[in-house]
Chain A
Amino acid sequence: MIGVFYVSERGMKMSVFDILGPVMVGPSSSHTAGAVNIGRVARQVFGEKPDKAEITLYGSFADTYKGHGTDRALVAGIMGFKTDDPRIKDALAIADEEGLLIHFSTSKEGTYHPNTVRIKLSNKFQSSEIVGVSIGGGRVRIREVDKFKVDISGIYNTLLCSYPDQMGVIAKVSEILASEKINIATMSVSRDKTYQIALMVVEVDGELPDQAVNQIKAMPYFDTVKAIRKIEL
């Protein structure tokens, strides 16, 4: 029932603006607006300006990306554009001007969803890789971050912390968030194959101020701490 938990049977928070919206550059909410949003998350996970983007498209994305402008949309998102930015149409040329090297490939491999993309961003100093799926209406899910299996919706402000696995870290993070009056919406921890490194994903209600993120960064546990700003739909 709509409204009982303000969340649909499909686990979505529903609003009139999910039905009339997003305001987006067309043609497709899944293949264009969703692609922009996945690109935006990729950029935030990387955390700075990339020199190079290696993009692999799967399924329907691989079959129809040119006619849907999925390629332009992904690159626009990587450059930080929003779904309604008229520059999306010219994103490939703008990337070229800005010296962002782009490489597209398609794959026939089976994967999470018909609309799946893998984005690897890098510069001289670092690289990061995400796998995102576009589930319709501009909504997305991030299913991998640097090979860790995750499930990030992007509609919450999200904190990503990686650290050598040890006891008590979750409690410490929750403590800081609580002291900043930030409510945790979802929290999950996954570990790499060696069980040595853990990735904590915390989706929060409302804002995630820099002050809270910086406090967590200052803790002695983490290799990386990244704040992913929520996607406005």
Chain B
Amino acid sequence: MTPFQFSTVQELVEKASYEGTTISQIVAQWEVETSNLSREKIFEKMSNNWKVMKKSIEEGLQKEGQTMGGLVNKAAAHMYNAILTGIVPQDRLSKTIYKALAVAEFNASMGCIVAAPTGGSCGIIPAVLSTAQEEYNFNDEQIVWSLFTAAGIGLVIAEKASVSGAEGGCQAECGSAAAMAAAALVELLGGPPQKVATAAALALKNALGLVCDPVGGLVEVPCIKRNSFLAVNSLVAADLAMAGIPSLIPIDEVITAMGEIGRALPESLRERAQGGLAATPTGKKYKNE
């Protein structure tokens, strides 16, 4: 028997619905069949990713000093203190924000992270899932399974569009991460496969057109704070989907649109640090350090 293959999110939804299971189980099975690794082994590898993600939140929060390029100075710690002192309310939103900042800032300080799907977008998935773990008491095993759902969405995006800022702008990095995080969150919350796909569609739609214009070519401005914005974007998408609000445009068509928009972006707005924020008078001061 030839193993299950997929090129669209819809195929994942149909397969999971037909078998009465989750997208994560379908993706994990696909990985087993295509990698020649055992189910235990791939679960162990994904568990390690989750371990590194959690550690990167903690270490990013405690980190001393500036980022490598010196453009961001302890943003996560500032946000965390604001929560502790009651300046901002302690809730799902503020927790997601500080966690995304912590990971993205840790990345920009040469800390160890999981590219998810890239270094520039590495804070979004850990922030959304770690906050969900805190708020809803999911155990690590549940979270690790949800990462397979995130990866399944990411695989389709990588294939049909791109997850590289140099190819598709920031929508391809942080937009993809937001779609992946929203999908994982809905599955954790018990949403059926169709709602998982809807959440991904809603999250990605709201990131379309986002350009990659990093100041000085560094993964710092606007990247670090954008991780927190796009993590929150995932929460909104997941809430909308869980509430049963559909996406008019299905996820696979949103992905295709994202790829087309990426190709239409001028090169100066695809990680070249030649346009947008990078080309502002202030941004230019940081060119080549």
Contacts and interface: CB of A to CB of B under 8 A. Distances in A.
Contact of B159 (A2, A16, A69): A2
Contact of B34 (A6, A28, A30): A6
A66 B49 CA distance: 27
B122 A23 contact: no
Contacts of B109: 26-27
A63 B288 contact: yes
A132 interface: no
Contacts of B217: 60, 63-64, 67-68
A176 interface: no
Interface in B40-87: 42, 45-46, 48-49, 52, 67-69
A32 B110 contact: yes
B155 A26 contact: no
A80 B21 CA distance: 43
Contact of B7 (A1, A15, A16): A1
B117 interface: yes
B100 to A, nearest CB: 14
Contacts of B151: 16-17, 19-20
Nearest to A106: B288
Interface in A55-89: 60, 63-64, 66-69, 72, 84, 86, 88-89
A23 B45 CA distance: 10
Interface string A24-42: 1111111011000000000
Interface residues of B, number: 62
A16 B31 contact: yes
Judged by DSSP, the binding face of A is loop
Nearest to B5: A3
A2 B115 contact: no
A67 B5 contact: no
B240 interface: no
Interface residues of A, number: 42
A212 to B, nearest CB: 20
Contacts of A210: none
B255 to A, nearest CB: 12
A23 B150 CA distance: 16
Interface string B93-117: 0000000000000111111111111
A2 B7 contact: yes
A93 B78 CA distance: 31
Contacts of A60: 217, 271-272
Nearest to A90: B110
Contacts of A89: 110
Contact of A27 (B119, B167, B288): B119
A24 B115 CA distance: 7
Contacts of B197: none
A3 B167 CA distance: 23
Interface string B215-239: 0111110000000000000000000
Contacts of B52: 23, 84
Contacts of A88: 110
A184 B107 CA distance: 37
Contact of A68 (B115, B116, B219): B219
Nearest to B70: A67
A138 B115 contact: yes
A211 B35 CA distance: 26
B138 interface: no
A72 B119 contact: no
Nearest to A4: B5
A48 to B, nearest CB: 28
Given A33-B119, A68-B68, A16 B155 contact: yes
Nearest to B3: A3
B91 interface: no
A2 B5 CA distance: 6
20 contacts: A3-B3, A8-B159, A14-B159, A15-B35, A16-B27, A17-B46, A19-B180, A20-B147, A20-B154, A21-B49, A22-B114, A24-B113, A26-B107, A26-B119, A27-B120, A27-B220, A28-B219, A33-B115, A67-B217, A68-B68
Interface of A: 1-4, 6, 8-9, 14-30, 32-33, 60, 63-64, 66-69, 72, 84, 86, 88-89, 114, 136-138
